[in-house]
Structure 1
């Protein structure tokens, strides 16, 4: 029984890699915020939409959003796995 409990705790500790995903998510959110701020400045420009630079900025925003969504999906999957492990631990400890 003690070996199983120790094994479960070790598996829970391995899920600390979700901190890395959270750091990636924070970086992506910061990048997205920076790009949005730049876009606000560009919107104020009178030649909005005519320059290739603007189109590249839109592509960067779309790519960043896509990566952020992927990271969020990974975090949800990890959380689901953690929940399953916690339920197993609760059953074993009762």
Structure 2
């Protein structure tokens, strides 16, 4: 494998859907990575009451989340839509 995976700094917080999306470049393709806001709260031990707080908590955990996403990408653990879910029950 050993293909370089690069993450950008952009976040797409979908408060109504309860997700935070970020993306990576892998093998010339863009990979959408997602984590539920409930998972962010659980992992951080913090209450997340709005989209701004979700972004702050994500940034606090960014390094660990990107490491986890990198492992899932390398394992090609994509869902049916080609996305990577962190902490998703299907993973």
Tell whether the structures are fold-level matches, with TM greater than 0.5.
no
Specify the structure having the higher radius of gyration (Cα). Answer: 1
More strand by share: 2
TM-score (norm 2): 0.25
Higher relative contact order (CA 8 A, sep 6+): 1
TM-score (norm 1): 0.24
More helix by share: 1
